Amino acid sequence: MGFGDFLAKRMKRSMEKNIAKSTLNQENIQETLREIRLALLEADVNIDVAKELISKIKEKAIGGYIEEGASSQQQLLKIVHSELMDILGKEVAPLNLSKKPTIIMMVGLQGSGKTTSASKLAYYLSKKQAKKPLLVGLDIYRPGAIDQLVELGKKINIPVFEKQKQNPLKTAKQAIEFAEKNNHDLIILDTAGRLQIDKELMNELNDLRKTTSPQEILLVVDGMVGQEIINVTNEFNNQLKLTGVIVTKLDGDARGGATLSIRHMTKLPIKFIGEGEGFAALAPFYPKRMADRILG
Ligand code: GDP
């Protein structure tokens, strides 16, 4: 069961139960909204987001936008769809690739899927936007992290710049020089992760940010983690001024609700989602597709 499917199922059930009735009236609108609220909470949508969503739908549905009668069923669906889109951010949030070379800094906690996503993103942009990426391994702390990136790079035929035993700041500077000399128009920095956010990690990431002035700072979060991704995102954002979020592992049995809450709770766009371990399992996040999927 993938991202949104859980919510989709619950949402459909609560809609069908009430909307199947021949007419929609004040009473069964209330009942439907109550069930939609439950569906949202069960899908792990943040409680503030669920409340806001319901109150907006209610305002429109009861505030005269819906005329009582059979066709009102479709109208309610439309309202829910449009409010969901509002919460999800409406438009696709593209990467800012205008500068040459573009520097993308990937940050995140250990195990979030950062290294995998760095290589997937390099692969995606080389295929879809004809970019010539350079991957840069900067995680000198986790044993095997740089080797993992080198292995991934080999598989997708994208070079990896790394200096295992060198200060990451120095390596990043050298990587930029290397990229400029070798015509790479995209540099993806795979920075160090930690099990928890700590001052040392943030200081290093901040130094890297100042040294490399990246156009994009993308936080990679594990979609299976649930509500905690909101706190993690806010903390990283406070320290680093993120430009967006990549949510991974949405192919798992994640209920998806936390992902749905990110935009509203952090004001940051989800730029990509990861839905598998393969190179091609990374795609831009389309709010409309998500809303369509949730409402079946
Ligand atoms: P890092 O410590 O943040 O660099 O995490 P890794 O990139 O090493 O990923 C941790 C694990 O998650 C690896 O086994 C990846 O294959 C796996 N992974 C990453 N993204 C996804 C995804 O979208 N779906 C699934 N199923 N697994 C993923």
Q: What's the 3-state SS for 223-280? A: HHHCCHHHHHHHHHHHHHCCCEEEEECCCCCCCCHHHHHHHHHHCCCEEEEECCCCCC
* Cα–Cα distance, 264 to 284 (Å, whole number): 18
pTM check: above 0.90: yes
The lowest-confidence range among 34-43, 101-110, 219-228 is: 34-43
Is 72 annotated to bind a ligand? Reply is no
- Best mutation site among 152, 156, 191, 277 for ligand 1, i.e. most ligand atoms within 8 A of its Cβ? 277
Residue 92 Cα distances to 123, 287, 288, 290, angstroms = 19, 7, 9, 11
Does the C-beta of 115 come closer than 6 Å to ligand 1? yes
CA-nearest residue for atom 12, ligand 1, is 113
Write the DSSP symbol of residue 63. I
Residue 291, pLDDT score: 84
Atom of ligand 1 nearest to the CA of 220: 3
Under the banding of pLDDT at 50, 70 and 90, the label for residue 161 is very high
Task: Give the bridge partners for 133, in sequence order.
Answer: 186
Is 194 annotated to bind a ligand? Reply is yes
pLDDT in tens, 33-69: 888 898 888 888 899 999 999 999 988 887 666 666 6
**Quick check: 246 pLDDT over 80?**
yes
Across 5-14, 78-87, 106-115, the highest mean pLDDT is recorded for: 106-115
Residue 66, pLDDT score: 64
94 cis-preceded (ω within 30 degrees of 0): no
Give, to the nearest 10 degrees, the angle between helix 228-240 and helix 257-266: 30
Q: Hey, what are 16's tokens?
A: 């069908």
Write the DSSP symbol of residue 177. H
- What separation in Å is there between the alpha carbon of 114 and the centre of ligand 1? 7
Sheet holding 216-222, edge to edge: 160-162, 133-137, 186-190, 102-108, 216-222, 244-248, 270-274, 282-284
Helices (H) and strands (E) in the chain, counts: 11, 8
Residue 289's nearest CA partner among 43, 51, 1, 8 is: 8
Residue 188's nearest CA partner among 164, 155, 218, 222 is: 218
Amino acid (one-letter) located at 74: Q
* Cα–Cα distance, 268 to 165 (Å, whole number): 34
Residue 3, pLDDT score: 62
* Cα–Cα distance, 40 to 200 (Å, whole number): 37
pLDDT in tens, 117-131: 999 999 999 999 999
Residue 188's nearest CA partner among 227, 230, 217 is: 217
**Quick check: 167 pLDDT over 90?**
yes
Under the banding of pLDDT at 50, 70 and 90, the label for residue 234 is very high
The lowest-confidence range among 12-21, 144-153, 233-242, 270-279 is: 12-21
The lowest-confidence range among 199-203, 215-219, 250-254 is: 250-254
Is 112 annotated to bind a ligand? Reply is yes
Q: Hey, what are 247's tokens?
A: 């949510």
Query: Between 168 and 143, where is the model more confident?
Result: 168
Contact 291, 85 (CB under 8 A): yes
Contact 217, 107 (CB under 8 A): yes
Write the DSSP symbol of residue 286. -
